[in-house]
A = this chain, B = another copy of it.
Amino acid sequence: MIVLKIGGSRGIDLDAVCADVAALTKTGKQIVVMHGAGNEADALGDKLGTPAKHVTSPQGFTSRYTDYATLEIYVMAACGKINTFLVERLQKLGVNALGLSGVDGRLLEGTRKDAIRIVENGKQRILRDDFTGKVEKVNADLLRALLANGYVPVIAPLAISHQGDAMNIDGDRAAAMVAGALGAEQLIILTNVPGLLRNFPDESSLIMHIDKSRIEQSIDFAEGRMKKKVLGASEALRLGVSQVIFADGRTAEPLMRALEGKGTVID
């Protein structure tokens, strides 16, 4: 089984990705798709006069600050536009896709971080009323039941808190949790770069292989959002996923190329 994370950034060729998903599912391969929402949510927030706010943790991880107004926008972009039209696109290619977010059937459950520590202008402060969380539990039975009935689950990056609040989550780390819970062999993360770069943004500095025993150290030279992807990879490997591949979602046959090892292979 493959868990495929399709990044939410600009440039990813969704037609090419979906064509590969269709080709692979036709060979009988089981695939669970998880997608991002960043770019669409930002664009919708701009149009609605509520631009996205990104914050940086003391550890240097960036994330979206999600007050309730932002959560509504995020939900409309993630569960509405991206998820529905991704499912539609796959259905047109004969894939029996079925969209869910982590709120549905408590698919992705975790703790809401209603107070987060951020760094702003070099100073630390606490933000409250944030609808962001971390996935701790995956309803793998639901995914297995859907897969057994021939559906391809397409998951939007939201989770539900133990108290029942919808919350924004990091899609890469959620995909790692899903891959771990399903015992997937591979987690493929498609982004708009060729993989992990030693000297970002120099694409010729692509790291082709990382030994899983050394993944933690790679976080140091991962840049910006790539840090969370490396964190996700490390979590997936710890949960028993055999291989994580970061690959380029902008090329022809992006998933096939990833499976051929083009990108950063971590195992």
Which chain B residues border A77 with CB–CB below 8 Å? 76, 80
> Is B106 in contact with A96, judged by CB distance below 8 angstroms?
yes
Report the nearest B residue to A152, measured CB to CB. B105
> Given that A145-B145, A164-B92 are contacting pairs, would A103 and B87 also be in contact in the complex, using a CB cutoff of 8 Å?
yes
A contact patch SS: helix
Collect the chain B residues with CB atoms within 8 Å of residue A80's CB: 75-81
Q: Chain A 163-202, CB within 8 Å of chain B: the 1/0 string?
A: 1111000000000000000000000000000000000000
Nearest B residue (CB) for A80:
B80
Interface residues on A, range: 35 or more
A132 at the interface (CB under 8 A from B): no
Tell yes or no: A123 within 8 A of B by CB.
no
**Are B81 and A72 neighbours in the complex by a CB distance under 8 Å?**
yes
Cα of A103 to Cα of B84 in the assembled complex, Å: 7
Chain B min CB distance to A78 (Å): 7
Can you sample 7 A-B contacts with CB below 8 Å?
Answer: A76-B81, A84-B101, A87-B104, A91-B160, A99-B100, A105-B151, A145-B145
5 extra interchain contacts, Cβ-Cβ under 8 A, other than A79-B79, A91-B160, A145-B145?
A72-B81, A76-B76, A76-B80, A92-B164, A98-B142
Name A residues whose Cβ lies closer than 8 Å to a Cβ of B.
44, 47-48, 72, 75-81, 83-85, 87-88, 91-92, 96-101, 103-106, 141-142, 145, 149, 151, 158, 160, 163-166
Q: Which 4 residue pairs of A and B lie closest in terms of their CB atoms, listed nearest first?
A: A80-B80, A92-B164, A76-B80, A76-B76
